[in-house]
Amino acid sequence: MPITIKSSREIELMKEAGRILEKVHNELAVALRPGMSTLDIDRLGEELIRSYGCIPSFLDYNGYPASICVSVNDEVVHGIPTADRILQEGDIVSLDAGVIYKGYHSDAARTYGIGEISAEAQKLIKVTRESFFEGIKYAKEGNHLFDISAAIGRYAEGYGYGVVRDLCGHGIGTNLHESPEIPNYVMNRKGVKLKAGMTLAIEPMINMGGYEVDWMDDDWTVVSRDHSLSAHYENTVLITESEPVLLTLSGPEPFEK
């Protein structure tokens, strides 16, 4: 599939899809507390998405059974919400969500601590987020796609963390997953040249231990093979001739307020 360049009309729709998803994430973040089930998060997330007139893009995507991917501790991504998985003080939880607004997708993920978490867990979450910002320093017309990948991977590996290799970021638009694939590690080629109007979901997934992952028997939940903690951070990004525009992040995140 070729990489699509979005028109200004499409960009406006993607901006709105992004703004709505940012609100959903911020509202989920403040609702998180110990004692909540991962299904409670999914229910609230779906309700919020629909309240803004959007469709939850993950629901029924290749058979995925929920609207929000909720991944706890050693779960990397695609955790399936259930009533009996109860968040405990000290857990870290990654929330990944996508919405469709008038046919256009946005996709974003955040990792939060539940109550007090260890200093090591806080650092993992912080470095994962920072690795995204290292990557997007290169997200500009004329640079190459794998400049982003290398910056993310080098930054996270500099802390001794494992950068997940089996899952990647992706183009996004009228489909949740479009070309190109965006690895989070150093590639020995340059990748495509970035052009204004490309929209990319850039999403480092970082393990405190090794980079290897396994799929659970539910065929969805990805866990770190060594069961070390894992964090995820993702925004939908518009490439321009100058600075990238973060479609799913316009203001402070809840923990920054």
Select the binding partner of residue 133 from ligand MF3, Co ion, none (C-beta < 5 to 8 A, by kind). Answer: none
CB of 35 to ligand MF3, least distance (A): 25
Residue 6 binds which entry of ligand MF3, Co ion, none, with Cβ cut-offs from 5 to 8 Å by kind?
A: none
Integer-rounded Cα Rg, in Å, for the chain is 17
Specify the residue, 67 or 73, whose C-beta has the smaller distance to ligand MF3: 67
Write the DSSP string, 15-77: HHHHHHHHHHHHHHHHH--TT-BHHHHHHHHHHHHHHTT-EETTTTGGG---SEEEEETTEEE
Contact residues toward ligand MF3 (CB under 6 A) are 58, 61-62, 64, 69, 78, 96, 98, 107, 170, 201
44 binds, among ligand MF3, Co ion, none (CB under 5 to 8 A by kind): none
Question: For tokens 């003080």, what's the residue?
Answer: 89
Pick from ligand MF3, Co ion, none: which does 58 bind, CB < 5 to 8 A by kind?
ligand MF3
Is 100 a residue that touches Co ion (CB under 5 A)? Answer: no
229 binds Co ion (CB under 5 A): no
Task: Annotate each residue in 104-133 with x if it binds Co ion (CB under 5 A) or - if it does not, as one string.
Answer: ---x--------------------------
Asked if residue 201 binds Co ion (CB under 5 A), the reply is: yes
In this structure, what token pair is assigned to residue 211?
A: 């980079």
Return the amino acid letter for 32.
L
At residue 83, φ and ψ (nearest 5 deg) are -70, -25
The Cα 60–Cα 52 span in angstroms is 19
